[in-house]
A and B are shown apart, each in its own frame.
Chain A
Amino acid sequence: MSELRGVGIGLGVAQGPVARMAEPLPAPEDAPSSRTPDEELARVREAVAAVARELEERGSHAGGMAREVLEAQAMMAEDPTLDTEVSTRVNAGKTGEFAVHDAFATFRDTLAAMGGYLGERAADLDDVAQRVIARLRGLPAPGVPDPGHPFILVAKDLAPADTALLDLDKVLALVTSDGGPTSHTAILAREKSIVAVVGAVAATELRDGETVIVDAAKGVVTTQPSAEELSQAEHRAAARADAAAAPITPGALKDGTPIPLLANLGKPEGAAQAVELGAEGVGLFRTEFLFLSASQAPTVEEQKKSYTELLSAFPGKKVVVRALDAGADKPLAFLNDAHEENPALGLRGLRALRASEDILREQLTALAEADAATDADLWVMAPMVSTVEETDYFVTMAREYGIKTAGVMVEVPSSALLADRVLQIADFASIGTNDLTQYTLAADRLLGSVSSFQDPWHPAVLRLIKATGDGGKANGKPVGICGEAAADPLLAVVLVGLGATTLSMAPTALADVRASLLTYTRDDAERIAAAALAADDAASARAAAYAAADPAA
């Protein structure tokens, strides 16, 4: 087997034969035309009008959002500026095909250079150009293949005209080599809950008919999968379908051991959806949203209002709020505007708050006041704590403001290694697996070239999680997980086996994790965790865990 990496959309997994989207037509050559400029222009205008009418017709079939996009594409085809550009070129003796190709290319380059949302509209324009050129050549427009059986659609990127009429009963999954998380393919996949991996550059090497596994949770496409991998994927797909249909119960292992399942939230407005999906509280409330759009810190009153809104949604339940976590990937000018060579190793998290202590004191004031006004069980934790001394600093200050439960995030290996001492002082610890992985493997999580290191299954990361779990046990203190690792259904079991007492994740992952926990006893979880810990690397830890988990399932 080998793996292609991209960006997964959602948590699903699917398998099946590849069907490739037809390759784009070769670019027309710049050969002199044998027709008169008037003849060429007439051909182009006929083709452009025909393509515009076809796009409009597809739009009216598709309806909704797709209709808007297709109508916009029809307007692009008949755009007056483009018509002028094409005229200039045919008058200079170019063929209609080349004139269309060249004129469109000028605009697509402008859009692509603008990047972001506009950059991704360049694909819409490419699609229009392809359709017009196909029409001029008397060829069928490039489109979605129809192999006559369900398939995994592999494309460079999907144009709105393709996605609008896609027969979703036939499409098992989508894989694209281009396009990012805001491409049409990604939007379609989210809207219709289709398993998808986008931006997998190596997808151009997939061949028609070969069987692959598309794992959106991992953002990986597995080629030449083994029989074992295929059956694991099938098992996961079936488990996911069952989990979605299962009743919502409090998080627990098969033997009844409760493992509360909590939600990660970034704004108070997310609370209602989290409750609906069965969140038993909040395991990580990020407070950055209050600060990120501001040029100065929000007032105590403004903060109190947001915290009160959040806490009111969870009466009698636990809500863990993280103090402002700025720096590195979330810079805040008023907290730290110094240039740093290595911001991930710089003045961030609690370090930055300590340097601007007023901001921390105001936040604790607002939290204590919101707590007094509501019935939720408020816990507050400090981000990126790396020493016992910092733990003492934060916990002492939180107590000063009447915060009853004060803890720390374990994201730095030093805190995990000294967890037994950190947890003598802190009331709880919460492990941020994304940062813990980046710091353990010394691989910047924002850097594509080292993204293969960013895997929480790595046994070095698992050992540090175990050290933290052991530190919790020794002191009788809870240890939660609030990183993306908790949303991986099998890794969640491993984390419990390593000593995690609660799991917090994006609300959409709750059903999968709930179902997975119910499959294993505490003994199973410890055995599966031990198998993963004994591995040499992330891939073999994952494989060992699957092997250890299978007989129990």
Chain B
Amino acid sequence: MTQVTRTIRVGSSNGLHARPAKLFAQAAKDAGIPITISKGSGGAVNAASILGVISLGAEKGDYVTLVADGDDAEAVVDALAELLTTDHDEN
């Protein structure tokens, strides 16, 4: 078991709500290992919980921290970080 922690800045122009929150929570759920997300120095929530993710109220430019626990935690965090830094609200 490896635990991976990474802090990332949110890239979506409308922050981590609506569509980006849904894509992120879906991906975290599909990963099948325990993952949490927290904003700044706030408490961590289950990353697979769309309600938890929305309630963070993370805006573009906010720092969020991912913690994943499992064999392929590194790859999972890579993929989730990619999702978080992409601007899904472009166009």
Contact = CB atoms under 8 A, between A and B. Distances in A.
A82 B18 contact: no
A362 B67 CA distance: 51
Interface in A77-105: 79-82
A114 B29 CA distance: 25
A118 interface: yes
B57 A114 contact: yes
A68 B22 contact: yes
B50 A72 contact: yes
Contacts of A121: 17-18, 54
B54 A81 contact: no
Interface string B1-44: 00000000000001001110110011001000000000000000
Looking at chain A's contact residues, is the secondary structure mostly helix, strand, loop, or mixed?
A: helix
Contacts of B29: 80
A81 B29 CA distance: 12
Nearest to B55: A110
B45 interface: yes
Contact of A79 (B14, B17, B51): B51
Contact of B26 (A75, A81, A111, A114): A75
Contacts of B49: 79-82
Contacts of A75: 22, 25-26, 50
A76 B49 CA distance: 8
A79 B55 CA distance: 13
Contacts of B17: 117-118, 121
A72 B17 CA distance: 10
Nearest to A82: B51
A365 to B, nearest CB: 33
Band of interface residues on A: 10 to 19
B50 A76 contact: yes
B19 A80 contact: no
Q: Indicate the member of B14, B18, B29 with the most A CB atoms within 10 Å.
A: B18
A111 B56 CA distance: 10
Q: Give the contact-size bracket for chain B.
A: 10 to 19
A107 interface: yes
A79 B19 contact: no
Nearest to A69: B18
Interface in B39-87: 45-46, 48-52, 54-55, 57
Q: Give the most central of A71, A75, A107, A110: most B CB within 10 Å.
A: A75
A81 B18 contact: no
A118 B51 contact: no
A379 to B, nearest CB: 35
Contacts of B18: 68-69, 72, 117, 121
B19 A81 contact: no
B22 A81 contact: no
A107 B45 CA distance: 13
B22 A71 contact: yes
A362 B17 CA distance: 40
A68 B46 contact: no
Given A79-B49, A81-B45, A111 B55 contact: yes
A111 B54 contact: yes
B50 A79 contact: yes
Contacts of B51: 76, 79, 81-82, 107, 125
A342 B27 CA distance: 51
B53 to A, nearest CB: 10
Contacts of B45: 81
Contacts of B50: 72, 75-76, 79
B46 A72 contact: no
Contacts of B19: 68, 72
Given A79-B49, A80-B46, A81-B46, A118 B22 contact: no
Contact of B22 (A72, A110, A117, A125): A72
Contacts of A81: 45-46, 49, 51-52
A70 to B, nearest CB: 11
A80 B45 CA distance: 11
A387 B61 CA distance: 46
Most chain A beta carbons < 10 A, residue from B25, B29, B49, B57: B49
A540 to B, nearest CB: 46
Interface in A308-342: none
Contacts of A82: 49, 51
A82 B45 CA distance: 12
Interface string A116-158: 0110010001000000000000000000000000000000000
Interface of A: 68-69, 71-72, 75-76, 79-82, 107, 110-111, 114, 117-118, 121, 125
24 contacts: A69-B18, A71-B22, A72-B19, A72-B21, A75-B26, A75-B50, A76-B50, A76-B51, A79-B49, A79-B50, A79-B51, A79-B52, A80-B46, A80-B48, A81-B45, A107-B51, A110-B55, A111-B55, A114-B55, A114-B57, A118-B54, A118-B57, A121-B18, A125-B51
Interface of B: 14, 17-19, 21-22, 25-26, 29, 45-46, 48-52, 54-55, 57
- Report, nearest first, the 5 A-B pairs whose CB atoms are least far apart: A81-B49, A72-B22, A75-B50, A79-B51, A81-B52
Given A69-B18, A75-B50, A76-B51, 16 more contacts: A68-B19, A72-B19, A72-B50, A79-B49, A79-B52, A80-B29, A80-B48, A80-B49, A81-B45, A81-B46, A81-B49, A110-B55, A114-B55, A118-B54, A118-B57, A121-B18
